[in-house]
Amino acid sequence: MFGIFSRLKLADWALICVLVGFVVLQVYFDIQLATYTQTIFEEMTKADSTTWSILGVGGIMLLFALGSMVSTIVIGFVAAHVSSHLSYCLRNELYAKVQGFSAAETDKFSTAGLITRSTNDVQQVQMGVIMFLRVAISAPVTAIWAIVKIRASSVPLTLATAGWIILMVAVIGSIFGIVCPKFKLIQKLTDKMNGVTRENLTGLRVVRAYNAEEYQEKKFEFVNDKITSTHVFITRLLGVMLPGLMLVMNGITLTIYWFGAHLINTDSTFTFAQLVSFSNLAMQVLAAFMMLTMLFVMLPRASVSANRINEVLSTSYSIEDKAQTTPLMREKGGEIEFDHVYFKYPGADGYVLEDINFTVKKGETVAVIGATGSGKTTLVNLIPRLFDVTGGSVKVNGVNVKDAAQSELHSVVGYVPQKGVLFSGSIKENITFGGNPNDADMALSAEIACADEFIAEKENGYDSLVSQGGKNVSGGQKQRLSIARAVNVKPQIFIFDDSFSALDYKTDKAVRSNLKKHTGGSTKIIVAQRIGTIKDADNILVLDKGRIVGSGRHEELLRNCEIYRSIALSQLSKEELGL
């Protein structure tokens, strides 16, 4: 929890110093107010006291009360500002950190877990910090100051009060020893509940199509029941504290007046005014411990949330730039080389790719085909360094991708993933997502991807809105917009990961023809299942169980590669293939 404070800025620390000053002022005013009760009682019992003398003491007490009120308001404002600014910084840091995560880190925390840490956990820390700043400084100062005062008033009453406070601390400590582990469980269950909810909302159409609403409801109810029962357990246990505190408060009051009455009868120097003053000071001590109790209610959960946030922020990137990067030799225009590449996913036993060797020259079109699970997508993901190779090397423009800066590497690659990803905003914003806002280039990119046809039919054209995830466009339209986005950045290398699968044959052929005409100088890597999509490629790689089992042009592979031949015959007849 306290590690979070290291992220405060210098201005925040200056404000905390101001806060500490006002805390001391507030405690001073409160203690003086409690002390002046003795003065006003003594003034009232004097034989020569007047209304004006009593009002004078009362006026001083009123000033102390006003001073305490102003100090409390300032403390509240400062605490709210510091905690809000800290949560603002934490959200920014978390977002920036997650932006650099690879699939390995995302899988470790889960998408739902990262969302919870960026929202719910930050909120818990904010509430914990504001309570800490308001109470953690004020309560100890109040308690120590008041104890020193009451100890000077009467040692026997002080010992009696201390006994009750020790009992209260023991009870609260026992309760929190049980409650703290439950707070950690609640945050984990919150992750799980967010995951189930997100999964259900993402796949809502599939859920309805299979009448699986009841099944999804049971999954949610299971998690919801667990988090509810945990909350109920904690709430019930914490509910014991309020009656306990009331018992201590009444016990202290009774003890003070019991012993106080005895002292008044036996000690002529001890007066009723001192008893009232002592009682007020004792209430100040008790109030301080009650404030600490409120802090202890929130601090465990805030501490768990802070640890979860620090866990994300302290995670080392599995893929990061070297201290000294090597510039890409852009004059090579998009050359790619796989040199004895091996790859397996973190924690996996077997290799997904084994001994992959091939070279792609500038302007060439290379296709990758193979059965499902043969490693096609994994292979092309190694080029923009979405994963790091386990063995061997991948070179782009003569430079090992591990030695290049990721930003420079990504600037020469136009990547169209297997699943078309669009963002909420306009069509224009999605096409120019890569940073080229030129309207003429945008229109040409849409034309090359054959997306201009359906864009022109929309009422607002390029300003038409796309919903989150592109749910208001069809699968083919989504793929064409994704292709247009890649074309718009004018990359040296295009990667099409099964990016034509949702297009009809006519549109597929038109898009490939446009790409050849307008981006002929760029290197293209195409992953596809359709023979018609890849048969004109300069080189076709056939993958099987992570190994290249065939390489060559379409006609050559039909003669020499049995796996390629069987894939081709499953889609086209012998006559169509010229066999």
Domain boundary among 313, 342, 365: 313
The pLDDT of residue 54: 75
Confirm if 332 and 410 have CB atoms less than 8 A apart: no
**C-alpha separations of 369 from 319, 323, 512, 529 in Å:** 27, 37, 17, 6
Residues of the domain holding 184? 2-313
The pLDDT of residue 317: 86
In a shared domain, residues 12 and 139: yes
In a shared domain, residues 273 and 181: yes
In a shared domain, residues 390 and 436: no
Q: Dihedral sign, CA of 239, 241, 245, 248?
A: positive
The pLDDT of residue 153: 61
- Ranges of residues in the chain with a pLDDT under 70 are 1-3, 38-39, 41-49, 150-154, 267-270, 273, 579
Q: Which tokens in the block code for residue 276?
A: 């009232």
H or E element in which residue 336 lies: strand 336-343
The pLDDT of residue 43: 65
Question: Is 116 part of any domain?
Answer: yes
Question: Is 323 part of any domain?
Answer: no
Question: Is 321 part of any domain?
Answer: no
Q: How many structural domains are present in the chain?
A: 3
Domain boundary among 436, 464, 489: 489
- pLDDT digits over 407-453, tens only? 899 999 999 988 878 888 899 999 998 887 888 999 999 999 999 98
Q: Which residue reads 């390629």 in tokens?
A: 564
The pLDDT of residue 127: 87
| Count of all residues that appear for the chain in the document | 579
In a shared domain, residues 477 and 500: no
Question: Is 325 part of any domain?
Answer: no
CA–CA dist 37, 25 (Å, integer):
19
In a shared domain, residues 440 and 291: no
The pLDDT of residue 150: 65
Where residue 432 sits, what CATH number does that domain have? 3.40.50.300
The pLDDT of residue 551: 92
In a shared domain, residues 308 and 344: no
CA–CA dist 150, 166 (Å, integer):
16
Strands 547-552 and 539-544: antiparallel
Partners of 523 in the β-ladder:
493
CA–CA dist 392, 340 (Å, integer):
5
Question: Is 322 part of any domain?
Answer: no
Please choose, from the candidates 161, 175, 144, the residue with its C-alpha nearest in 3D space to the C-alpha of residue 242. Answer: 175
In a shared domain, residues 469 and 495: no
CA–CA dist 76, 414 (Å, integer):
52
Q: Which tokens in the block code for residue 434?
A: 């890569």
Question: Is 320 part of any domain?
Answer: no
In a shared domain, residues 190 and 160: yes
In a shared domain, residues 266 and 395: no
In a shared domain, residues 404 and 425: no
CA–CA dist 440, 462 (Å, integer):
12
- pLDDT digits over 128-150, tens only? 888 888 887 777 777 777 777 76
In a shared domain, residues 484 and 500: no
Question: Is 327 part of any domain?
Answer: no
Confirm if 91 and 118 have CB atoms less than 8 A apart: yes
Domain boundary among 313, 345, 378: 313
In a shared domain, residues 33 and 167: yes
Confirm if 414 and 494 have CB atoms less than 8 A apart: yes
Question: Is 324 part of any domain?
Answer: no
Residue 370 phi, psi (nearest 5): 170, 175
CA–CA dist 345, 382 (Å, integer):
12
